[in-house]
Amino acid sequence: MFKSSRKRRSPQAADPQRSVDESLVKDVPEHLEIPLRQWVMVLLQDDEASAQKVALLLRLRVDTGPRSYSPAEFLASRTTNEQLLDVIDAMLRLSAPSESRSFAVGGTGIYRLDMTGDRGLGSAVRWRAIEALQEMLTLAGSAYRVNDAATGLELRVDATAQQAVTSALAASQTPQSGSAADHLATAWRCVYGRDPDPSKAYGEAIKAVECASQSTIEPNNSKATLGTMIKVLGNSPQKFTTAIPAAVGDDITLVVDMMRRLWQGQTSRHGSQAPTRHETQQQAEMSVQLAVTLVQWFTSDLVRRLP
């Protein structure tokens, strides 16, 4: 159907494992700007009330001239490219089911993305719009993707890492894991989301590991922390084992080292006379990836207490 005079690239010439930083763009390139603005306009052009909500959420002053006031036109046409990504992120957040939002908001959400089906559109329309957005971002080589919960944008990461967190979240949705899944999802969103918060991501990563490991290490201690559990493992390593036995030393040593690195690496946990040093983005990313592994191990019974 489509013809091109360009030479085909050899399959070996394309490296599917190129890093995100090298192969993807974090801003809005020229070839993606108009499609994204059209996506926003189509969804908001008949719903100025929802467009106003987006503008208020983002603290944007709507200025479309003295004769007409149109938040939809402003958001779709007069925002900067940086603001455009924020607009799309906010639209996803406001159109999500109320239980998926990180804040309370009145009304029924953005009408064309609304999952309540008040106008007969329902979730099918929302998902078609989101699928179209996801396809645009992917084809254009954007560093952003719609997150799995469809509540916002997040940085695209290696497919293996994405699958790892998906598996860990699924494995941790059990009563004995407490709120591990919620904390891990929040940590992931805070480190890879549109508005990163490294310190919060690090703290949520620790909480996820605490929730996932308590039933194995300190099931009877309601005040257990990562620090107290590290101490228990250090004092009684012979009581715990892992799926892959250690060739030398205690099986649990590797797990203790990982937990200790996570615990001691948090710099903003306590205050003092010295200025508080907040975690960097790289430190937060490592903490979350470390938490993904530990949560998966504990919730899948790969780390367990001996009878």
- Same domain assignment for residues 295 and 180: yes
Sign of the torsion angle spanned by Cα atoms 51, 56, 60, 62 = positive
State residue 293's pLDDT score. 95
State residue 92's pLDDT score. 93
State residue 173's pLDDT score. 86
Q: Are strands 153-155 and 144-146 parallel, antiparallel or unpaired?
A: antiparallel
- Same domain assignment for residues 232 and 213: yes
- Same domain assignment for residues 198 and 164: yes
End position of a domain, from candidates 120, 137, 155: 155
pLDDT category of residue 113 using cuts at 50, 70 and 90: low
Quick check: 108 and 118 in contact, CB under 8 A?
A: yes
- Same domain assignment for residues 187 and 130: no
DSSP 62: P
Residue 170 lies in a domain: yes
Residue 41 lies in a domain: yes
Which percentage of the chain shows pLDDT scores above 70? Answer: 81
Judge whether residue 287 has pLDDT over 60: yes
Residue 179, classed as helix, strand or coil, is: coil
Q: Domain range spanning residue 292?
A: 159-270+277-305
Instruction: Determine phi and psi for 193, rounding to 5 degrees.
Output: -75, 180
Residue 91 lies in a domain: yes
- Same domain assignment for residues 177 and 286: yes
DSSP 1: -
Residue 292 lies in a domain: yes
User: With b meaning 16 or more CB within 10 Å and e meaning fewer, what string describes 104-116?
Assistant: eeeeebbbbbbbb
Minimum mean pLDDT among 71-85, 240-254, 264-278: which range? 264-278
- Same domain assignment for residues 144 and 241: no
Residue 15 lies in a domain: no
Number of structural domains, the chain? 2
- Same domain assignment for residues 168 and 92: no
End position of a domain, from candidates 129, 155, 181: 155
Judge whether residue 225 has pLDDT over 50: yes
CATH of the domain at 256: 1.20.120
Q: Which residue has the higher pLDDT, 24 or 264?
A: 264
Judge whether residue 143 has pLDDT over 70: yes
pLDDT category of residue 24 using cuts at 50, 70 and 90: low
- Same domain assignment for residues 202 and 134: no
- Same domain assignment for residues 67 and 164: no
For 234, residues 6+ apart whose C-beta sits below 8 A from its C-beta are: 256
Minimum mean pLDDT among 157-171, 177-191, 216-230, 238-252: which range? 157-171
- Same domain assignment for residues 68 and 144: yes
End position of a domain, from candidates 133, 155, 177: 155
- Same domain assignment for residues 119 and 173: no
Structure tokens at 46: 């008949």
Q: What is the pLDDT of residues 25-72, one digit of tens each?
A: 778 989 999 999 999 999 999 899 999 999 999 999 998 777 789 999
- Same domain assignment for residues 168 and 294: yes
State residue 247's pLDDT score. 84
Residue 4 lies in a domain: no
State residue 59's pLDDT score. 96
pLDDT category of residue 180 using cuts at 50, 70 and 90: very high
Distance between first and last Cα of the chain: 66
Q: What is the pLDDT of residues 70-81, one digit of tens each?
A: 999 999 999 999
Instruction: State the average pLDDT for the chain.
Output: 83
Quick check: 62 and 55 in contact, CB under 8 A?
A: yes
Q: What is the pLDDT of residues 159-169, one digit of tens each?
A: 778 888 888 88
Q: Which residue has the higher pLDDT, 287 or 269?
A: 287
Judge whether residue 231 has pLDDT over 90: yes
Quick check: 215 and 254 in contact, CB under 8 A?
A: no
Kindly state the average pLDDT of the residues 279-299. 94
Judge whether residue 215 has pLDDT over 60: yes
Question: Quick check: pTM over 0.85?
Answer: no
Q: Which residue has the higher pLDDT, 48 or 123?
A: 48
d(CA 291, CA 289): 5
Residue 249 lies in a domain: yes
Residue 10 lies in a domain: no
